[in-house]
Structure 1
């Protein structure tokens, strides 16, 4: 079995006199556990120490059987089904405020479930409940679909069901980059720091900016997201006058369902006057388009969208020269249309 505690704040657990859980720190409600073997008819001495230093006082103690009866039941059900839906991810005890996750992978027991189900049914759709990135390079190519549901709240079940059944055509886009491996993230070399302190030395190069700058191919790009239809962006035109940079384009729904696409406009500074990100998101707009319909979309940028903060001048600064305007539906260069302009 696995014995464990959920505590807020500090907890220590002794099992037969041996310290097994030692988390004597201030933290939000957090699970700590260990695996052991319990023999029928035998008594075990368990002692728990706990303190509370502010906010909610939480202490729970319990156990989880590690016997694979539930796993076998899930596998048998999947084997007899056309499609297997697996709801995986984290809970508030694995991912929340007040503490850091120990891993960006799915929990080991969930990976075991996923692999066991895949061994008997290749038509697996994964629905993730989580707040931050989850690494998935080991299994993403083995599943037929992935729904990123986040922590959707009390109506999340109904919302996910509507998406899976096609009652709603999803149109969400990733607000962050999902890497292929942990050390691809900019914070990897600085985390966890020492003595409770960490240096945020990433500067401007966080998220997709870091991946762009270091030419790292992610699992999924910032701004990426699918719908049940398809779109084509074309006829992109960029013109600038004294006060505005005008971006126009046509977007066509080339699929069979009404749906929404998020048009994203990035700016790339080619003046080479200062080190800046390869590109920066400056505008985005969600557009609802019917099947077969083409809509003309106009977005305006200003010189403020080209500025950077100059430390020496203590002000936002604009550099005249060449800029690239990139238009598409994600931060992936393959999804973007490039246009060059000169701004004086």
Structure 2
């Protein structure tokens, strides 16, 4: 009997896809509780992605075929939301003369964005006469062989998008931005004076797959309360990211930031450059997070954290995040490192849940590639206090437990894997701690190879094995212990 399901939809897949997309949607801003939208709201939806929704990025992932794709307009039509049909029909007519640009259909040829319909000041004001809230959807793609770039239409808004936003925010006091993107983009403009403070809400819906449009409507309508958290740091400028100066050369890219990537860099050296921090994500309700107990043995640390929905209207989920601050020691360490997280069940107003979060102590060890701790090519736990902080983002957390290591502990002995290295490469490391708790940046020489890999490989090659030819030994015989794997392999013939 064949179990080949290729080409056939797997039972329950669509429902799981919708659920996964909902769980990942991140609410970044929600002034005046503009969201969720209600049945009493009358909504004007602008933006080409309402119809031409990005369900996935480019490359191999984008080439996945699905039975159908639900766009955002479909999601609105399947919901109880009251939206402006005139705009929808205008977009449909406009798209007839402005078809989707696939860049010619070649690999990674599709542009990062699609031209949007012009929203004039007069058009926006006309729609505002019959509706009280506006949604503007901004779409971007990126992916394999089509990396996001610090260009207009990719990381940055286009002039057309800025003009549309200016006219929409002139006409509407309550504007929600929906980001149908595969990666983070520049967001410092959401507080730009030209938009008059009318951008009240911002939500990243990412690219939600075949059921993504329904997922967007689920969250915007309040059918589901958002519970996603940022997997990235959104800084104010591209230039604020430490990799910006080291990446993009056609011939050489230097990994000078070492382990100080993303939030590890910003929390250690430049927290003031962060607009939305790693792990951040709002809800339609509020939560209290309390560490009620902490315990440790020689192998693991266990925290019991009580989460209570302190709101009075919406149910919701919260993500408890545990970060640790290791002693600087000889290796140097980020100010915060994520070591565990867990999401609650859906909690009704006033309801609580106590999460038991456990993690291995050896899992927070650091690798010493140079031997600066006296233990080259080892994972080590340096002596000192390891402070564990519990909260719901890398910034919003508080000290919950301190674990003390009296003397350096080697958790794993490995061996050096040499690779080519730029003789002048230096790596980022914390220097002197400043009064505000951040660290000065210093650079130290990178570890240079000390082993001859070719010689090591040659010395560790397996011994020559006499070819016996097929004598009837099977893998089942090896599994049963009747023969060795070497005896099985000796049956194989050389092929020229």
Q: TM-score normalised by the shorter chain: which range applies?
A: 0.7 to 0.9
The offset of 1:286, in angstroms, is 0.4
The offset of 1:300, in angstroms, is 1.5
Change (3 A) 1:77 1:265: same
- Where do residues 188-203 of structure 1 align in structure 2 (5 Å cutoff)? 188-193=244-249, 195-203=250-258
Structure 1 residue aligned with 2:330 = 273
Structure 2 residue aligned with 1:233 = 289
Structure having the larger proportion of residues in helix: 2
Structure 2 residue aligned with 1:341 = 403
Q: Could you tell me the TM-score, scaled by structure 1's length?
A: 0.76
Structure 2 residue aligned with 1:327 = 390
Contact 1:330-1:336 at 8 Å conserved across structures: no
Could you say what secondary structure the match of 1:260 adopts? coil
Unaligned runs of 5+ in 1: 10-26, 34-62
Q: In 2, Cα distance between the equivalents of 1:318 and 1:214?
A: 23
Change (3 A) 1:239 1:320: farther
Structure 1 residue aligned with 2:220 = 164
Q: In 2, Cα distance between the equivalents of 1:79 and 1:212?
A: 46
Change (3 A) 1:343 1:247: farther
Contact 1:309-1:315 at 8 Å conserved across structures: yes
Structure 2 residue aligned with 1:207 = 262
Matched, 1:89 2:139: yes
Deviates more, 1:135-144 or 1:214-223: 135-144
Unaligned runs of 5+ in 2: 1-97, 192-196, 407-496
Change (3 A) 1:65 1:88: closer
* Correspondent of 2:108 among 24, 28, 41: 28
Matched, 1:130 2:168: no
Q: In 1, Cα distance between the equivalents of 2:198 and 2:363?
A: 41
Structure 1 residue aligned with 2:161 = 110
Count of residue pairs brought into register by the alignment: 291
Change (3 A) 1:196 1:78: farther
Q: Report the aligned-residue RMSD.
A: 2.7
Larger of the two Rg values belongs to structure: 2
Could you say what secondary structure the match of 2:275 adopts? coil
Q: Deviations over 1:187-222 (max 9, x none)?
A: 2112322x3442232210001011112123311010
Could you say what secondary structure the match of 1:99 adopts? coil
Contact 1:248-1:299 at 8 Å conserved across structures: yes
Could you say what secondary structure the match of 2:325 adopts? strand
Q: In 2, Cα distance between the equivalents of 1:331 and 1:294?
A: 23
Could you say what secondary structure the match of 1:295 adopts? strand
Q: Could you tell me the TM-score, scaled by structure 2's length?
A: 0.54
Could you say what secondary structure the match of 1:250 adopts? strand
Q: In 1, Cα distance between the equivalents of 2:215 and 2:134?
A: 18
State the structure with bigger RCO (CA 8 A, min sep 6), 1 or 2.
Answer: 2
Matched, 1:248 2:304: yes
The offset of 1:83, in angstroms, is 0.3
Structure having the larger proportion of residues in strand: 1
Q: Deviations over 1:160-198 (max 9, x none)?
A: 1111111111111111011111211122112322x3442
Q: In 1, Cα distance between the equivalents of 2:268 and 2:337?
A: 11
Q: In 2, Cα distance between the equivalents of 1:323 and 1:224?
A: 23
Structure 2 residue aligned with 1:148 = 204
Could you say what secondary structure the match of 2:389 adopts? strand
The offset of 1:144, in angstroms, is 1.2
Q: In 1, Cα distance between the equivalents of 2:133 and 2:329?
A: 53
Structure 2 residue aligned with 1:77 = 127
